Amino acid sequence: MKGISLRKIFTSKVISVSPETPVSEAVSLMERNRISCLVVARHNKPVGIFTERDFVMAVHRQNHLDSLEIKELMSRQLIKANIDTNIYEAYSLLETNRIRHLVIIDSDGDLAGVITQSDIMKNLGVEYFVEVKNISKIMTKTVVTAGKEFMLRDAISRMAEYSISCIVVEKDRYPVGILTERDVVRLFRGGIDIENLMVGEVMAHPVRTIPSNVPVHEAARIMNKEKIRRLVVVDKEGRIAGLITQSDIIKRIEERYIEFLKEIIRGKEEALQETRKMLSEKVVLENILRSSTDMAIVAIDRDFRIVYYNPVAEKIFGYKADKVIGRTVMDVHTGKNVDPLLFEKAVETIEKDGSYKYTFEYKKEGGIRFIESTVSGILDSNNNLAGFVLMARDITEHKKLGEELLKAQKLESIGVLAGGIAHDFNNLLTGILNCISLSKSLVKPEDKVFESLTMAEKASRLAKDLTQQLFTFAKIGEPVRKTTSITEIIKDAAGLMPTDFNATCEISIPDDLWPVEVDKGQMNRVFHNLVINAKEAMPKGGIIKIRAENINTTQKDSLPLKEGRYIKVSIEDQGQGISRKDLQKVFDPYFTTKQRGNRKGTGLGLAICYSIIKNHDGHITVSSEEGAGATFYIYLPASTRLFRQ
């Protein structure tokens, strides 16, 4: 497998404009030529780029664009690639920087052309599509939609907010049209006043759809033939099931990119075998050390001295390259929970099998990280080890996701068991209570046995209450979701606190809190449980602080969630906190630290909360220190649907 050079596939007929070009003229050029970007250049040197996305953002921010020059709206952070860059590196630049257009320059730095996702997709080859059978496996399932009656201005603002290229127009979940960035450019070019128009009046229709069971190569063929960047995916009934875009199709190229890098490494082995000197001169060339966005690559000589350290290695291990080049691995990683004899132990395995794979814990600011590494040996002309190439990846988040999955599976299994036990136990208790009731009717209240029967009856009813909680835990089903504001649910939970609780709730929720799609009944139970839990942590009273905010999550947040928009709610108490040994068990069924008394703890409340939040594709966690209270954090995906007016 070889990487195609951009020289063979890039679009050379690029249209460029000067920074002083009026916006109206630039938009006219884009609309007339049906192109998605203009390169801004001075003396044939690219200085910026202006895309349909930039224009949508500009319309969102202000009304009067005619009087502006293109330099006031263009993106100055220009991502460029040399004309001889291979297709895999081009993809890596597009994906890493979240862009659709890559400016191509020649050896003199002059503008040579542009490459887009469309260009990459056209040149992937049939073998790229073999592994993925149909589009349902790679499509975007979360689609931002709007009804025809939505105001156009609001729809454009939502496109800018979500940084998306289109909004699907629907009626009862059936697609009836689409509004794209290119449509916004077309409307501006036509001089149409967008302030008083509804989406249904300007949308493109009918919208191009495709069934979810269609092969990926067929979706790519349709996009190439019809020169479109997206298709609305529909289910058997024709309702919206997702969206398949060029980005979805080409993002799997990263896997082939890694294979391509391995080929380059193998191709360079002969050169690396010659001498250690060549290794120290960075024989592991720059083009292989710019690997996938999360792969660290380190070149090491036979004396375990570091001779190359790529930028991802700096990120994973926390050292700058100029601080480690020339030092031994053992010296650099002393005190980091890395075995100083790690490479020496690996030599025997490498000589036998060619590589050595291992996972280790690594101390870093913010806690322990788990690193998965492969060390490959480099042989000299006499087949002796001349050095090593280490490839490492931080798998901490993968481990966390695995732990979350294991926890969810455990809760599901326990739920099934709890339901069965509760059913049988409830039947037995019903018989016991009936017998006790009959026995009480046969004796006088003043008899000593009457008091004993009354106590037995009370204990049995408490046991019956426990079975009801087991039923509740076992019967948490799929949520029936509706778009709603979490604000109302939070306030209801705070208002339903029992009157004998000596606590007050301090609520802080912004007016622009994003809506969510939740089962209101299930979510009421979550927040009611958490508020009661916070109060019971403060038997002498106190303040329960409830906060809500909009957040955008990324991989850097170390959360077991997909990247995107979420509502984050925190519920903080002023109690005694949770001990470190108990902190990891708070969501386990039947685990409780509550005192037994009038309000008995069953250990099911937080387990129920965890299951409900997980079923809503969210996450719940807790932080606490003994003597300093506890704070529960809930993350729920923000709705991608607009509120109906």
Given a cut of 70, whether residue 380 has pLDDT beyond it is no
Task: Report the 10 Å Cβ neighbour count for 294.
Answer: 16
pLDDT recorded at residue 133: 61
Instruction: Categorize the per-residue pLDDT at 444 as very low, low, confident or very high, splitting at 50, 70 and 90.
Output: confident
Q: Kindly report whether the peptide bond that precedes residue 445 is cis, defined as omega within 30 degrees of 0.
A: no
Report the largest interatomic distance among the alpha carbons of the chain, rounded to a whole angstrom. Answer: 108
Lowest mean pLDDT among 177-186, 253-262, 388-397: 253-262
Read off the tokens for 633: 């954090």
Residue 233 confidence (pLDDT) above 90? yes
Rounded to 5°, angle at Cα 541 from 538 and 543: 90
Q: What share of the chain is helix, strand, coil (3-state, %, to 5)?
A: 40, 25, 35
| Three-class SS state of 11 | strand
User: Following DSSP, what letter does each residue of 360-392 receive, concatenated?
Assistant: EEEEETTEEEEEEEEEEEEE-TTS-EEEEEEEE
Q: Which of 342-351, 440-449, 519-528 has the lowest mean pLDDT?
A: 342-351
pLDDT at 123 > cutoff 50? yes
The most confident of 427-436, 474-483, 554-563, 632-641, by mean pLDDT: 632-641
Average pLDDT score over residue span 459-472: 68
Look at 2-6, 11-15, 561-565 and tell me which has the smallest mean pLDDT: 2-6
pLDDT digits (tens, 9 = 90+) for 200-210: 999 998 999 99
Domains 6-117 and 132-251 share a fold: yes
pLDDT tens-digit series, residues 411-420: 665 655 566 6
Residue 78 to residues 251, 409, 501, 644, Cα–Cα distance (Å): 21, 46, 59, 39
The one-letter code for the residue type at 410 is: K
Output the pTM of the full model: 0.45
Report whether pLDDT(599) > 60: no
pLDDT at 577 over 70: yes
Domain 482-637: assigned CATH number: 3.30.565.10
Residue of higher predicted confidence among 645 and 253? 253
Quick: pLDDT tens for 482-494. Answer: 888 899 888 887 7
Q: List pLDDT tens digits, range 176-197.
A: 999 999 998 888 888 788 888 9
Whole-angstrom CA distances from 454 to 166, 354, 438 are 68, 77, 12
Has residue 555 got a pLDDT over 50? Answer: yes
Structure confidence at residue 475 (pLDDT): 55
Q: How far apart are the first and last CA of the chain?
A: 54
Query: Which of 546, 550, 551 is closest to 508 using CA atoms?
Result: 546
Cα distance between residue 473 and residue 591, in whole Å? 14
Q: Which helix (H) or strand (E) holds 534?
A: helix 520-536
17 band by pLDDT with thresholds 50, 70 and 90: very high
> Does the pLDDT value for residue 18 go beyond 80?
yes
Q: Could you give the CA distance from residue 530 to residue 373 in angstroms, rounded to a whole number?
A: 41
Mean pLDDT for the stretch of residues 100-115 = 89
Fold entry, domain 6-117? CBS-domain (3.10.580)
- Most confidently modeled of 211-220, 267-276, 390-399? 211-220
Contact between 283 and 308 under an 8 Å Cβ cutoff? The reply is no
Residue 586 has pLDDT above 70, yes or no: yes
**Whether the predicted pLDDT of 481 surpasses 60:** yes
Share of the chain above pLDDT 90, in %: 18
Grade residue 405 by pLDDT with cuts at 50, 70 and 90: low
Q: What is the pLDDT of residue 350?
A: 62
In this predicted model, which residue has the larger pLDDT, 372 or 39? Answer: 39
303-339 pLDDT per residue, tens:
778 887 877 777 777 788 888 888 887 777 654 445 5
**pLDDT above 60 (res 274):** no
* Beta strands 630-637 and 619-624, pairing class: antiparallel
Q: What is the pLDDT of residue 570?
A: 94
Cα 250 to Cα 295: distance, rounded to the nearest angstrom: 19
Q: Between these two residues, 397 and 203, which has the higher pLDDT value?
A: 203
User: What's the pLDDT at 368?
Assistant: 65
Of 100-104, 388-392, 502-506, give the range with the top mean pLDDT: 100-104
Per-residue pLDDT at 230: 92
Name the band, by pLDDT with cuts 50, 70 and 90, for residue 124.
low
| Structural domain boundaries in the chain | 6-117, 132-251, 268-394, 399-474, 482-637
d(CA 178, CA 233): 13
Does domain 132-251 fall into CATH 3.40.50.1220? Answer: no
**Average pLDDT in the 139-155 region?**
91
Task: State the average pLDDT over residues 39-56.
Answer: 92
- pLDDT tops 70 at residue 46: yes
Q: How confident is the model at residue 602 (pLDDT cuts 50, 70, 90)?
A: low
Task: State the average pLDDT over residues 277-297.
Answer: 48
Average pLDDT in the chain? 77
Q: Which CATH architecture has domain 268-394?
A: 2-Layer Sandwich (3.30)
CB count, 10 Å around CB of 587?
A: 21
Instruction: Indicate the range of 19-33, 335-349, 467-481, 581-595 predicted with least confidence.
Output: 335-349
Q: What's the average model confidence in pLDDT over 561-583?
A: 86
Per-residue pLDDT at 247: 80
pLDDT for res 209: 95
Torsion of the alpha carbons at 590, 593, 596 and 598, rounded to the nearest 10? -90
| CA separation for the pair 14, 530 (Å, rounded) | 58
Q: Taking a C-beta distance cutoff of 8 angstroms, is the pair 355, 333 a contact?
A: no
**pLDDT at residue number 176:** 95
Sheet (strand 630-637) strand order: 503-508, 542-553, 564-572, 630-637, 619-624
Residue type at 504?
A: T
The pLDDT, as a whole number, for residue 14 is 83
Q: What pLDDT shows up at residue 275?
A: 39
Q: Which of 76-80, 229-233, 554-558, 606-610 has the highest mean pLDDT?
A: 229-233
Q: What is the pLDDT of residue 308?
A: 78
Lowest mean pLDDT among 23-27, 56-60, 266-270, 457-461: 266-270
More confident residue, 479 or 39: 39
CA atoms within a 13 Å half-sphere pointing along the CA-CB vector of 13: 2
User: Regarding predicted confidence, which is higher, 88 or 634?
Assistant: 634
CA dist 484 and 303 (Å) reads 63
